[in-house]
């Protein structure tokens, strides 16, 4: 009787060992799969972030816009020179040849950036009429383009056009050329605008 009980006990131990050994295999496979996924993600992120446009595409998406490249965009060189870069793009549109460094000097660029008034004064110095306004959305759509809009309370962008369906075409010195819906644009713009006339 004792022998019979021992063999039953051994048989039970084998099942327990088989169960644990099966679980170990599953855990090992899951661990290995996790490591492979993690390494693939790291390699993918390195590849994506190494792309010169990846961050710009992400930033455009984050602001509710579509990234269209950077052709015709003066990309700002520092965090605080979006105003001079935007004015340089407007000057380029009107064939006014002034170097970005000259614009930065003329607008008295500070660590906080530049003001609409200093951009207006620089435009007038180059014989380009300019008026700073707080426009309503209706007046904004009617205003001559390109114009400079002050968005998010700390950034200047150039507005090139607005289509009949309300799509706003933007040249953002921090990101590049963007396409944004009217609703998304109105979320970041409170009316401050620099309008030009030639």
Q: What are phi and psi of 88, to 5 degrees?
A: -60, -40
Q: Looking at the structure, do residues 39 and 121 belong to the same domain, yes or no?
A: no
Residue 143 lies in a domain: yes
Listed residues 9, 26, 50: the one ending a domain? 50
Closest CA relative to residue 137, chosen from 65, 196, 188: 188
Mean pLDDT (the chain, rounded): 87
Query: What pLDDT does 29 receive?
Result: 77
Q: Are residues 88 and 181 in the same domain?
A: yes
Same domain, 36 and 73: no
Q: Determine, yes or no, domain membership for 4.
A: yes
Question: 90 with 160, same domain?
Answer: yes
Give the pLDDT of residue 150: 97
Q: Do 44 and 76 reside in the same domain of the chain?
A: no
Q: Which of 17-21, 62-66, 86-90, 135-139 has the highest mean pLDDT?
A: 86-90
Domain that holds residue 24: 1-50
Q: Are residues 103 and 191 in the same domain?
A: yes
- Are residues 120 and 29 part of one domain? no
With a CB cutoff of 8 Å and minimum separation 6, the contacts of 125 are: 106
- Residue 129 in any domain: the answer is yes
Half-sphere exposure (Cβ direction) of 38: Cα atoms closer than 13 Å: 6
Query: What is the number of structural domains in the chain?
Result: 2
d(CA 45, CA 134): 42
Per the CB < 8 A criterion, the answer to whether 177 and 171 are in contact is yes
Indicate whether 147 and 121 sit together in one domain.
yes
Instruction: Look at residue 116 and tell me if it is in a domain.
Output: yes
Residues 185 and 123 in one domain: yes
52-83 per-position pLDDT tens digit: 788 888 889 989 999 999 999 999 999 999 99
pLDDT at res. 27: 80
Q: Over the stretch 123-143, which tens digit does the pLDDT of each residue have?
A: 999 999 999 999 999 999 999
Is there a contact between 84 and 101 (Cβ–Cβ < 8 Å)? no
Query: Is 84 in contact with 114 (CB distance < 8 Å)?
Result: yes
Give the pLDDT of residue 126: 94
Is residue 108 predicted with pLDDT exceeding 80? yes
**CATH code for the domain of 192:** 3.90.70.10
Mean per-residue pLDDT for 30-37? Answer: 83
Of the listed ranges 13-22, 62-71, 88-97, the one predicted with least confidence: 13-22
Is residue 72, in this structure, part of any structural domain at all? yes
Let me know if residue 59 belongs to a domain: no
Residues of the chain with pLDDT > 70, as a percent, come to 83
Instruction: Examine the domain organization and report whether 33 and 72 are in the same domain.
Output: no
Query: Within a domain: residue 56?
Result: no
pLDDT band at 184 (very low <50, low <70, confident <90, very high): very high
**pTM summary value:** 0.74
Q: Is residue 5 part of a domain?
A: yes
- Do 83 and 163 share a domain, yes or no? yes
**pLDDT attached to residue 21:** 66
**Cα→Cα distances 14→1, 8, 22, 191, Å:** 20, 10, 12, 77
Residues 42 and 122 in one domain: no
Asked if residue 6 has a cis previous peptide bond (ω within 30° of 0), the answer is: no
């Amino acid at each position: 009787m004792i022998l019979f009980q021992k063999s039953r006990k051994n048989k039970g131990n084998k099942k327990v060992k088989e169960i644990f050994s099966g679980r170990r295999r599953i855990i090992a496979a899951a661990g290995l799969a996790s490591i492979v996924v993690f390494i693939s993600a790291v390699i993918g992120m390195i590849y994506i972030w190494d792309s010169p446009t990846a961050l710009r595409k992400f930033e455009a998406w984050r602001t509710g816009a579509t990234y269209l490249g950077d052709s015709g965009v003066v990309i700002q060189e520092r965090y605080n020179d979006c105003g001079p870069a935007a004015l340089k793009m407007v000057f380029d549109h009107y064939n006014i040849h002034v170097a970005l460094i000259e614009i930065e000097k003329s607008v008295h660029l500070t660590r906080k950036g530049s003001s609409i008034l200093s951009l207006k004064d620089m435009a007038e110095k180059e014989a380009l009429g300019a008026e700073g306004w707080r426009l309503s959305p209706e007046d904004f759509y009617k205003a001559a383009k390109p114009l400079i809009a002050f968005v998010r309370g700390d950034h200047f962008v150039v507005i090139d056009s607005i289509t009949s369906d309300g799509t706003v075409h933007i040249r953002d010195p921090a990101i590049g050329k963007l396409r944004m819906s009217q609703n998304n644009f109105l979320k970041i713009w409170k009316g401050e605008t620099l309008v030009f006339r030639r």
